[in-house]
């Protein structure tokens, strides 16, 4: 070709092979994630045949990390986490510490440094939220108490790993990165400063960033998205969501020195508190999925398949730590906290794999010279195999529960029942609150349709958009809402109260469910009537610009409004003709 198409070729190769191997993995009843990793292995520098551009793939993968963390923050539920905090917080922290120590112990037997062992152990200690959610959804367990505890547990792990990603650059020099990567600027910037001072500065930067995000984010970001949503442009809304995610991630990294991952997480966290969080998640999900695929493919490109042949015992040992060590630790912690055995089996099976944070952490360890390529290969091998086998582990956990209930019914029914019942009640309470909020939202929509049947012509999603477009307005009795000769500013929907429309010498009373002001908007002319409030009124006003854009996107609604406007105009003309005829008859009377 006569021009460089490396980027296009890399994306094309990644997507084509990822779709093929992802489909094959699904047919084998494996998570598609396994297929994406295998696709990366097939096109990586260690494989023969087609090789994609690794540097470009790594940059695309960084986008995947940003969008992954944005999605984690967007779906983060503080209320759900608070409900399961009694088991998720101590359980996740305890499991991370013990599993990390286990990994460090194995690494020391191999003669690795302290820093290598720490990064290696941390990489093995956390599980994939993506894999867990997929497994729970397939088994209809996502909204069960066991499933919500498992998700809460992994959320705590995710937060702990976000902190680890922030602190690792600051402590990399102390941990022994003698051959530190030249780009490891965070460690080099320490300039020989004491470790505690370096950590204090790093945590201070993170604290300032978090404080600013929490203080200003919930005010600025939802306002910005609301203004964009009012334009009715779907692509502009999607673009703004991505701009918020990537802009905050990049800006936080440049200004505060925090990781892209942390900045993206806080961007999602801030946006998650907005009423537009569901819309933002839906609009950004395709790009999140696409770049997440590129992330996993790029991770697979880093994997050296020869490690399976050259170091089979080491691979088996890593797999044992992930699938047995972590599971046993988690099971023991759940029982020690006096929760039921069935919950312990669910949590332990959920943690018997590693995923996205493991890839990010081990990659950062390699970049800072803490871990060798061998360590990364072992972690990637453990990830590939554990994710592949995790469905079997989840199935085995379910069978183990059934077997234990038959073998020890009293123990399974009684142990940990008090704590579990209290947890269930708290989860039910939070679910009831969430359902009440959702019900209130639905009732608001239904009430809108009940009050204004005309709006039943548009679907549910467009009704929610219309709620964003409406501007509330009130009027007191005797107040003139519209004056003859004024420029048309909007269309008024009467929510409560009543008005009188004075046109052509007569007064027409309009009550809740009616609307007015549409005729001048449709014709582009000035107002031809006075509208006076005769009661305390509440209106929903669709301003001129919003009216034109919304009606242009919904021709069936515009046709209905046009028809009603013509009826009113014809009625006004007929009334005027009657008055003229009466005047003519009176003038002809001798």
Query: How is 135-190 classified by DSSP, letter by letter?
Result: HHHHTT-TTSHHHHHHHHHHHHHHHHHHHHHHHHHHHTTTTT-TT--TT-HHHHTT
Please state, in angstroms and rounded to a whole number, the distance separating the CA atoms of residues 349 and 323. Answer: 8
Summarised one tens digit per residue, pLDDT across range 183-206 is: 334 433 444 456 567 667 767 777
pTM more than 0.85: no
**572 Cβ contact list (under 8 Å, min separation 6):** 503, 504
Instruction: Measure the CA–CA gap between 165 and 261, rounded to whole angstroms.
Output: 8
Highest mean pLDDT among 22-26, 100-104, 140-144, 379-383: 100-104
Instruction: State the average pLDDT for the chain.
Output: 79
pLDDT at 364: 84
- Confidence band for 319, pLDDT divided at 50, 70 and 90: very high
pLDDT at 254 over 60: yes
Look at residue 24 and tell me whether its pLDDT is greater than 80: yes
The separation between CA 151 and the C-alpha centre of its own chain, rounded to angstroms, equals 14
Write the DSSP symbol of residue 338.
T
For 357, list phi and psi in degrees, rounded to 5.
-70, -30
pLDDT at 50: 54
- DSSP code, position 371: S
Nearest 5°: phi and psi at 236?
Answer: -70, -35
Q: What is the predicted pLDDT for the residue at 578? A: 63
Rg (CA), the chain: 31
Q: What's the pLDDT score for residue 259?
A: 66
- Per the CB < 8 A criterion, the answer to whether 498 and 535 are in contact is yes
CA separation for the pair 482, 528 (Å, rounded) = 9
Which residues have C-beta within 8 Å of that of residue 301, sequence separation ≥ 6?
A: 40, 41, 43, 44, 45, 52, 54, 57
Contacts of residue 403, defined as CB under 8 A and 6 or more positions apart, other chains included, come to none
Q: What is the DSSP letter of 529?
A: S
pLDDT tens string 349-367: 988 988 777 888 888 888 8
Tens-place pLDDT, residues 468-508: 778 888 999 989 998 888 888 888 988 888 999 887 777 88
Half-sphere exposure of 129 (CA within 13 A, CB side): 21
> What does the pLDDT average to over 103-120?
91
Instruction: Give dist(CA 530, CA 539) in Å, integer.
Output: 16
CA dist 88 and 86 (Å) reads 6
Say what the pLDDT of residue 124 is. Answer: 92
Considering the chain, what percentage of its residues have pLDDT values greater than 90?
12
Count Cβ neighbours within 10 Å for each residue of 176-214 and write b for 16 or more, e otherwise.
bbeebbeebebbbebeeeeeeebbeebeebbeebbeebe
* Residue 587 CB neighbour total at 10 angstroms: 7
Which residues on neighbouring strands pair with residue 496, listed in sequence order?
538
In SS3 terms, 447-514 reads as HHHHHCHHHHHCCHHHHHHHHHHCEEEEECCCCEEECCCCCCCEEEEEEECCEEEEECCEEEEECCCC
Greatest Cα pair distance, the chain, in angstroms, is 123
Q: How confident is the model at residue 327 (pLDDT cuts 50, 70, 90)?
A: very high
- pLDDT value for 47: 56
Query: CB 556: neighbour CB atoms within 10 A?
Result: 9
Residue 135 and residue 138: Cα distance in Å, rounded? 5
Out of 191-205, 401-415, 511-525, 562-576, least confident range: 191-205
Nearby residues of 274 by Cβ (< 8 Å), 6 or more positions away: 218, 221, 222, 225, 280
Bridge partners of residue 475, in order along the sequence: 537
CA pair distance 545, 565, nearest whole angstrom:
19
């Amino acid at each position: 070709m006569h021009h460089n198409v490396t980027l296009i070729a890399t994306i094309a190769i990644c997507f084509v092979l990822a779709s093929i191997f992802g489909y094959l993995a699904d047919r084998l009843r494996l998570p598609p994630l396994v297929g994406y990793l295998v696709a990366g292995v097939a096109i990586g520098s260690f494989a023969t045949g087609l090789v994609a551009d690794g540097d470009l793939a790594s940059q695309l993968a960084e986008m995947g990390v940003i969008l992954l963390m944005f999605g984690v923050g967007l779906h983060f539920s503080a209320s759900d986490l608070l409900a399961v905090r009694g088991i998720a917080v101590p359980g996740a922290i305890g499991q991370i510490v013990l599993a990390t120590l286990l990994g460090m112990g194995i690494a020391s037997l191999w003669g690795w440094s302290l820093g290598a062992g720490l990064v290696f152990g941390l990489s093995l200690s956390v599980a994939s939220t993506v894999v867990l959610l997929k497994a729970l959804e397939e088994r209809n367990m996502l909204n069960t108490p066991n499933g919500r505890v498992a998700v809460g547990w992994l959320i705590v792990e995710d937060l702990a790993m976000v902190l680890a990603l922030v602190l690792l650059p600051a402590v990399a020099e102390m941990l022994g990165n003698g051959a530190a990567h030249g780009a490891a600027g965070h460690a080099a910037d320490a300039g020989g400063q004491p470790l505690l001072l370096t950590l204090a500065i790093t945590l201070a930067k993170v604290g300032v960033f978090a404080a600013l995000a929490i203080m200003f984010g919930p005010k600025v970001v939802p306002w910005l998205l609301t203004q964009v949503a009012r334009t009715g442009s779907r692509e502009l809304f999607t673009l703004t969501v991505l701009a918020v995610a990537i802009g905050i991630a990049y800006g936080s990294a440049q200004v505060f020195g925090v990781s892209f991952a942390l900045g993206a997480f806080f961007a999602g966290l801030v946006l998650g508190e907005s009423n537009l969080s569901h819309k933002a998640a839906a609009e950004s999900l395709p790009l999140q999925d696409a770049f997440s695929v590129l992330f996993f493919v790029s991770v697979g490109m880093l994997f050296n398949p020869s490690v399976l042949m050259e170091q089979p015992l080491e691979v088996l040992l890593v797999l044992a730590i992930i699938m047995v060590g972590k599971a046993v630790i988690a099971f023991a912690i759940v029982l020690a906290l006096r929760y039921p055995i069935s919950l312990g089996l669910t949590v332990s099976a959920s943690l018997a794999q590693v995923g996205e944070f493991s890839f990010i952490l081990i990659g950062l360890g390699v970049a800072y010279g803490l871990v060798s390529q061998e360590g990364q290969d072992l972690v990637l091998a453990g990830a590939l195999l554990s994710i592949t086998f995790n469905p079997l582990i989840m199935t085995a956990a379910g069978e183990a529960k059934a077997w234990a209930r038959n073998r020890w019914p009293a123990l399974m029914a009684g142990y940990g029942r008090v704590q579990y019942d209290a947890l269930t009640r708290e989860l039910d309470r939070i679910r009831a609150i969430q359902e009440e909020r959702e019900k209130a939202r639905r009732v608001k929509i239904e009430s809108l349709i009940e009050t204004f049947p005309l709006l039943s012509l548009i679907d549910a999603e467009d009704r929610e958009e219309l709620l964003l477009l409406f501007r509330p307005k009130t009027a007191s009795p005797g107040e003139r809402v519209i004056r003859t000769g004024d420029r048309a500013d909007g269309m008024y929907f009467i929510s409560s109260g009543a008005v009188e429309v004075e046109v052509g010498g007569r007064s027409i009373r309009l009550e809740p469910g009616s609307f007015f002001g549409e005729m001048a908007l449709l014709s582009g002319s000035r107002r031809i009537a006075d509208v006076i409030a005769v009661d305390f009124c509440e209106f929903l006003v669709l301003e001129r610009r919003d009216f034109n854009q919304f009606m242009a996107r919904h021709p069936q609604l515009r046709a209905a409004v046009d028809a009603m406007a013509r009826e009113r105009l014809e009625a006004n003309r007929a009334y005027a003709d009657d008055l003229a005829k009466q005047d003519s008859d009176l003038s002809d009377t001798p």
